[in-house]
């Protein structure tokens, strides 16, 4: 079965622009989580969505937002980009009903802000 | 608040030697602990979780609540074990995983 798919894989933006990243979870998975990975801060939780509702949010400014669609696909948006937003953004899905809550990660979207 | 500490940023061992990657956590309740691994140019993937009490690729990890540790061990390291290893915790009603900073393991020939 197909894994977690993230698009685009790489993108370059300039300060002040905004960006939208997309994540398609594993078929049947209804929970999608987003993480930011940087060399300095490591993996930090951004937010989690389940059935189109944000269930949890990490400690990021309001410039970071997300949503989930009825087909469980999720997008995250970062507005007014700053140099420090350069990172690998990872999406992970899980099958909540299983109770195992094991996250399966995508390959990530690498964002470079110039 | 929950916190995960991996004290070693880099760890090198020779092939065939035992390896232990340390993980300590801070959480007042009963946590779920995980080890994730990221091989070169591959995506982050689950290695093992404490509730399964299983051995994956020869690795084991035991949750020690007294020492609040979840160290990852393998008796005989292989070159293909070279990767970045992350310890992660999920506690109580918190749904997100809190990751440690990771340990880059290099197994030398």
Q: Do A104 and B46 touch (CB under 8 A)?
A: yes
Contacts of B102 in chain A (CB under 8 A): 42-43
Chain B residues within an 8 Å CB radius of A58:
96
Largest Cα separation within chain A, whole Å, is: 42
Tokens found for residue A59: 């400690």
DSSP string, B25-44: EE-SS-EEEEEEEE-TTS--
Nearest CA in chain B to A3: B43
CA distances from A63 to A19, A60, A95, B26 (A): 10, 8, 28, 30
pLDDT in tens, A48-105: 998 899 988 999 999 999 999 999 999 999 999 999 999 999 999 988 644 456 889 9
A9, A39, A40, A42: best mutation site toward chain B, by most B Cβ within 10 Å?
A42
Token pair for residue B81?
A: 């074990």
Average pLDDT rounded to a whole number, residues B95-108: 92
Q: What DSSP character marks residue B59?
A: B
């Amino acid at each position: 079965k197909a894994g977690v798919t993230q698009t685009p894989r790489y993108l370059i933006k300039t300060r002040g622009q905004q960006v939208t990243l997309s994540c398609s979870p594993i078929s049947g998975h209804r929970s999608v989580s987003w993480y930011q990975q940087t060399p300095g801060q490591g993996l930090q939780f951004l937010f989690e969505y389940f059935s189109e509702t944000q269930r949890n949010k990490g400690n990021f400014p309001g410039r970071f937002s997300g949503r989930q669609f009825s087909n469980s696909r999720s997008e995250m948006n970062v507005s007014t980009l700053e140099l420090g937003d350069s990172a690998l953004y990872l999406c992970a899905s899980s099958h909540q009903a299983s109770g195992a809550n094991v996250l399966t990660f995508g390959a990530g979207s690498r964002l470079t802000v110039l | 608040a929950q916190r995960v500490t991996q004290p070693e940023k880099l760890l090198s061992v020779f092939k065939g030697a035992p390896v232990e990657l340390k993980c300590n956590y801070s959480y007042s309740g009963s946590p779920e602990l995980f080890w994730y691994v990221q091989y070169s140019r591959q995506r982050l993937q689950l290695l093992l979780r404490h509730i399964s009490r299983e051995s994956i690729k020869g690795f084991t990890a035991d949750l020690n609540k007294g020492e609040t540790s979840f160290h990852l061990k393998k008796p005989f390291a292989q070159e293909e074990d070279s990767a970045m290893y992350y310890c992660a915790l999920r506690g109580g009603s918190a749904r997100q995983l809190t990751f440690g900073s990771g340990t880059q393991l290099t197994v030398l020939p």
